[in-house]
Amino acid sequence: MKKFFYKSSVLALTAGILLTSCDPEIDAPDPSSGEADFTSYLAVGNSLSAGFADGGLYRESQLSSLPAILADQFEEVGGGEFVQPLFSEAQANGSGYLKLVGFTPQGTPITETVTTNLAIRGLTSKNTPLYTKFTNNINNLAIPGIRVADIKTAGYGSTQGNPYFERLTDNPGLTYLQYVQAQAQAANHTFFSLWIAENDVLAYATSGGAFSGGMLNSDAQRITPVNTFTANYTELVDALTAGGKEGVLATVPDVTAVPFFTTVGGSVKQLLAANKIPAVVALTESGNSRIVITPSQINVEGGVYFPLTASAYAPLLGTPTGRYWRLLARQVSSSPDPVTVNATLTAILANYQIDTTQMFGLSQGNPLPSALVLDAAEQVNIKNATTAFNDIIKAQATAKGLALWDAYGYFNSIKNGFVRNSVTYSPSYITGNLFSLDGIHLTPRGSAIAANEIIKAINSKYNSTVPQVDETQYRAVLLP
């Protein structure tokens, strides 16, 4: 495979130049596959493996996907060709994505969505995109948005389902599990990676505890039941390990620790302090109940997090918000259809007794929507589910004799940041170098660092010496 490198952000690029000028000699063992066979590598997962970043999937992000980086390193120990469902160069911007264009005088980042050279071939009846087809056999089977709960859903890739899966097959009734089985047979894979379970809790978290202005968007925003997760995950691992195949599993990180949830709280605290506001009021997942949030409860363990989506609404504190509730209803509704949006808004106002003439966020009558806060009770639900899912993943790794990367433990260990090759990393938004502009998915640099941790787990399990990647050759957030 041809290696694909990227320009780094200013900070990372400077560090890379300094490192290159030193040109240190590092003693490393000769590359060896050990007890593993990397001849045909298959990647199964969700957006974290597909290369999704900056709120979209595009050619550059695909080329720097975590599995692509791993495949490059596997080449050193006998790995073969690794095919991805790349968008063409003419449609390189794929689904579209966020681009950093500047900062406000207060330091708030300004982003815009790239809308040129997209890979959209049409729209569904719900005005959702249909992406340019890619139906060849591939090695990277990762699908943005997929949950373990979805892998046996017939028609998951149809025009009523996930557009990233729909583009990969002409069979509208195919399940993802069936697709994996077919692609595994075509590739005759000898090694696999599986990192797929984040969305089984993430959608619940990003929707403020599955609350969308008075109603659930869909089952996708509920936490997957443990029994469903156990059955589906086990069946997926069974399919990938059939015939004694080797591979590596990865656990679910703490999704509440990503910049999507930890960034806005600081600015909310400043806003409250500047305006001498002692507390705000918010709806909770449970319904008509409200919670009072003081500044001391924001961005602390057992407190409340504000997602990035709350940033547009925080400045509206203390104002009448009739039209803003309508905008929020449009944002969280499962359909862009105006009739559905109006129905959603009506349900919000009626079910939760909202009076938009009162002060937004500062009164019982006009509280912050639950979709804009992640409270302590919701965080407990996420933690309990994450622990249960990770116990299942670890049990499967043990039962099948597979390598295991504890992504949960790793990302928790770097919450306070770290320094590698003279570059500082942390879970901070933009400046931390690890997370892309959507606050959830990794930058190419972050994927390279994750790849190195996975390589450590593989080498430990299979007595291999797969070389690690030079993460400085991959970019962090691109500064304007």
pLDDT score at 15: 38
Q: Which residue has the higher pLDDT, 372 or 16?
A: 372
Contact 257, 348 (CB under 8 A): no
List the single range of 83-87, 171-175, 341-345, 396-400 with lowest mean pLDDT.
Answer: 341-345
Domain spans in the chain, listed from the N-terminal domain onward: 10-259+377-473, 260-376
User: Topology of domain 10-259+377-473, per CATH?
Assistant: Rossmann fold (3.40.50)
pLDDT score at 371: 83
pLDDT score at 318: 87
List the single range of 84-93, 232-241, 322-331 with lowest mean pLDDT.
Answer: 322-331
What percent of the chain has a predicted confidence (pLDDT) above 90? 71
Query: Over the stretch 247-291, which tens digit does the pLDDT of each residue have?
Result: 999 999 999 999 999 999 999 999 999 999 999 999 886 555 889
pLDDT higher than threshold 60 for residue 13: no
- pTM for the structure as a whole: 0.90
Query: Over the stretch 305-323, which tens digit does the pLDDT of each residue have?
Result: 999 989 988 888 888 876 6
Q: Rounded to an integer, what distance in angstroms lies between the CA atom of residue 65 and that of residue 82?
A: 12
Compute the average pLDDT of residues 161-175: 95
Q: Name the residue type at position 260.
A: F
pLDDT score at 352: 74
pLDDT score at 340: 67
pLDDT higher than threshold 50 for residue 22: no
Instruction: For residue 427, count CB atoms less than 10 angstroms from its CB and return exposed for 0-12, middle for 13-18, buried for 19 or more.
Output: buried
Compute the average pLDDT of residues 349-365: 84
pLDDT score at 21: 37
What percent of the chain has a predicted confidence (pLDDT) above 70? 86
Query: Over the stretch 186-232, which tens digit does the pLDDT of each residue have?
Result: 999 999 999 999 999 999 999 888 654 444 455 778 899 999 999 99
